[in-house]
Amino acid sequence: MVVVKQVRYNVVMVSNRLTKRITQGRKLVLPMVVVLLTLAVLSSSDYLFDKILLPNRAQDFATLSLSIFVEAFPFLVLGSLLAAVVNTYVPAHTFEKLLPKKGVFRRAILSLMGFLFPVCECGNVPLARSLMIQGLKPSEAVTFLLAAPVINPVTIWATWAAFSYDQSIVVSRVAATFVIANIIGYILSLKKREQDFLTMDFVALCDAPTKQERTTRHRADKLSSNFTHEAFAMIKMLAFGAIVAGVVQSFVPRDILVSIGSNVILSILAMLLLAFVVSICANVDAFFALSFANTFTAGSIVSFLVFGPMIDIKMLALLKTTFKNELLITITILSLLMSALAGLVVSYAF
């Protein structure tokens, strides 16, 4: 009888373990299946639109909105995956302990973290969220968010490839981004209670990991949960931002912007507006800006390349998942003014 009971016990234990393994596998596979299906649908969008007759404006809107979404989607998924890995496998407060203690040096190092995570601004939002869950302050996360899309090897190489005939544009873009990101980070750090910058939902999320670690026994479950939460939260806002940007691009004539490209002040303002509207990822925006190089001033091109990765319609939609509107308005105004100043410096100094 004892032997029979022991055998039954072993069978039950093995069965329970297999059930848990299968459940974990399903939790990991489901998000990846959703991502792959989304990619398949997006990749066939051109064929679908060829078969559907739409008015020209509607066709332009659909094409532009989808192009923004398709361009950003892989980077957003990659950023969400990196964020999930950080939240799952990196011990709490690791980055906080490794970084310098002094705020100025700390933010300067964070400005260069794009070399470790060469993801565009879309993917950096979930990554910045995970860094704040790890213990970083909002001012430090904002510094990373503003700098990392430009100060990384992919974007620097792309900018150099597009403007190889004028290296001053490459140097100006990187230098201006580094300075602006750190100035804004310093200004935000002056607030005594930085937690007030965050939405209530994200504050609750920051408090969740400690409780979750006590109840979650398998890291696979946690990785799947973190990835699913970040990816779907970001994808909803990305879709919203892409739709808004598509509407503006479809119904605001670009020739109005191009017609003022020869004037130093007006060209900078026009390119800043264009950067905010078109919502192109930093990894490829240099080639888009290159198409305006013959009609717009070099300073306006630099303003576009600096401001666009920091703030645009799509980015604001993503940032609303984490930061309150007051902070978003502050960041937008400061980034806009300093990017315009960078453009003026380039226009008159080079």
Which has the closest alpha carbon to 304: 262, 267, 275? Answer: 275
How confident is the model at residue 301, as a pLDDT? 93
How confident is the model at residue 15, as a pLDDT? 47
Q: What is the mean pLDDT of residues 127-132?
A: 86
Flag whether pLDDT at 339 surpasses 50: yes
How confident is the model at residue 184, as a pLDDT? 97
More confident call, 158 vs 178: 178
pLDDT level of residue 285 (50, 70, 90 thresholds) = confident
CA 277 to chain centre: 16
How confident is the model at residue 249, as a pLDDT? 66
- Whether the CB-CB separation of 71 and 281 falls below 8 Å is answered with yes
pLDDT level of residue 12 (50, 70, 90 thresholds) = very low
Which residues is 198 bridged to in the sheet? 323
Q: Tokens standing for 244?
A: 């808004």
In tens, the pLDDT along 216-237 reads 456 777 777 777 876 776 677 6
Flag whether pLDDT at 190 surpasses 90: yes
Encoded amino acid at 294, one letter: N
How confident is the model at residue 231, as a pLDDT? 75
How confident is the model at residue 89, as a pLDDT? 76
- Whether the CB-CB separation of 254 and 271 falls below 8 Å is answered with no
Which range among 205-214, 239-248, 252-261, 317-326 shows the weakest confidence by mean pLDDT? 205-214
Encoded amino acid at 187, one letter: I
In tens, the pLDDT along 24-49 reads 444 445 555 555 555 555 455 455 55
Q: What is the mean pLDDT of residues 84-88?
A: 73
Encoded amino acid at 159, one letter: T
Domain ranges in the chain are 55-349
Q: What is the mean pLDDT of residues 121-130?
A: 83
- Whether the CB-CB separation of 108 and 148 falls below 8 Å is answered with no
Question: Is the pTM above the cut of 0.95?
Answer: no
Can you give the length of the chain in residues?
350
More confident call, 262 vs 11: 262
Three-class DSSP labels, the chain: CHHHHHHHHHHHHHHHHHHHHHHHHHHHHHHHHHHHHHHHHHHCHHHHHHHCCCCHHHHHHHHHHHHHHHHHHHHHHHHHHHHHHHHHHCCCCHHHHHCCCCHHHHHHHHHCHHHCCCCCHHHHHHHHHHHHHCCCCHHHHHHHHHHCCCCCHHHHHHHHHHCCCCHHHHHHHHHHHHHHHHHHHHHHHCCCCHHHHECHHHHHHHHHHHHHHHHCCCHHHHHHHHHHHHHHHHHHHHHHHHHHHHHHHHHCCHHHHHCCCCCHHHHHHHHHHHHHHHCCCCCCHHHHHHCCCCCCCHHHHHHHHHHHHHCCHHHHHHHCCCECHHHHHHHHHHHHHHHHHHHHHHHHHC
**How many Å apart are CA 37 and CA 23, to the nearest integer?**
21
pLDDT level of residue 5 (50, 70, 90 thresholds) = very low
Flag whether pLDDT at 206 surpasses 90: no
**How many Å apart are CA 177 and CA 188, to the nearest integer?**
16
Which range among 48-62, 137-151, 196-210 shows the weakest confidence by mean pLDDT? 48-62
Flag whether pLDDT at 20 surpasses 90: no
**How many Å apart are CA 138 and CA 147, to the nearest integer?**
14
Q: What are phi and psi of 37, to 5 degrees?
A: -65, -40
- Give, rounded to a whole angstrom, the gap between the first and last alpha carbons of the chain: 92
Mean predicted lDDT score pLDDT of the chain:
78
* pLDDT > 70: percent of the chain: 73
pLDDT level of residue 138 (50, 70, 90 thresholds) = very high
Flag whether pLDDT at 147 surpasses 90: yes
In the numeric block, the tokens 């990822």 are attached to: 281
User: 268 CB contacts (<8 Å, ≥6 apart)?
Assistant: 297, 299, 300, 303, 340, 343, 344, 347
